[in-house]
Amino acid sequence: MPGDGRLARGDATRRLVLRRAVDVASVDGLEGLSLGRLATELELSKSGVFALFGSKEELQLATIDAAFSIFEAHVVAPSRDVAPGLPRLRAICENWLEYSERRVFPGGCFFFNVGAEFDARPGRVHDAVASASGSFAAFIRETAVEAVALGHVDADPEVLAFELHALGRAANADAVLNGGTRAYALARRAIHARLAGA
């Protein structure tokens, strides 16, 4: 059908816009996004981009969804392929550090950055960011609980998960601000020591 080609082109354009949007937002924040800016940078019509999203808030929400899909593909999905318990916990930490260190998003961890931007601002965008970040924290926690249940570690799983998450976030923040890879090396050493001690 003739409409099928337009639909496919619309989907392709939407993916193109969102890929650019996640990169922009990782550096300039979700407030740094605008339909006009993305249209100009991608040499698309502003009305065409507006038709895909309808509003800045809808663009922000779609950008969060797209970023989470990318994050899951780089961090969560590969970790799920590793044996449960301590091996998976180690894989989560390493995949998270690699994702940040390789700059999958140019601004470092997308959710660390936009979380700081929207942490005290109520609304749909805040809720979407909190949900995405919370689901990753829950994944670390569930894996830590599993590691304790399997006898791989002897620790309070909630505290252990919080510490591991905090080390990854600290490495990301330090490396983005100061450059270099030293923060990631220190985080790897700290994570290894924490897990060995547990």
Q: pLDDT tens digits, residue range 75-114?
A: 999 999 999 999 999 999 999 999 999 999 999 999 999 9
Residue 82, phi-psi category: left (phi > 0), alpha (psi -120 to 50), beta (remainder): beta
Tracing tokens 């942490």 back to the chain, one arrives at 119
pLDDT at 198: 81
Share of the chain above pLDDT 90, in %: 85
**pLDDT grade for 71, boundaries at 50, 70 and 90:** very high
pLDDT of residue 88: 98
| Predicted pLDDT of residue 7 | 64
Which pLDDT belongs to residue 6? 65
Per-residue model confidence as pLDDT tens digits over 107-135? 999 999 999 999 999 999 999 999 999 99
pLDDT at 62 over 90: yes
pLDDT in tens, 139-186: 999 999 999 999 999 999 999 999 999 999 999 999 999 999 999 999
83/3: higher pLDDT: 83
| Confidence tier at 26 by pLDDT (50, 70, 90) | very high
Task: Output Rg (C-alpha) for the chain, integer angstroms.
Answer: 19
Task: Indicate whether 9 pLDDT > 80.
Answer: no
Give the pLDDT confidence score for residue 97 in this predicted structure: 97
> How far apart are the C-alpha atoms of 27 and 98, rounded to whole Å?
18
Q: What percentage of residues in the chain have a pLDDT greater than 70? A: 95
Residue carrying structure tokens 């605008």? 34
Of the candidates 167, 160, 158, which has an alpha carbon nearest to the alpha carbon of residue 109? 167
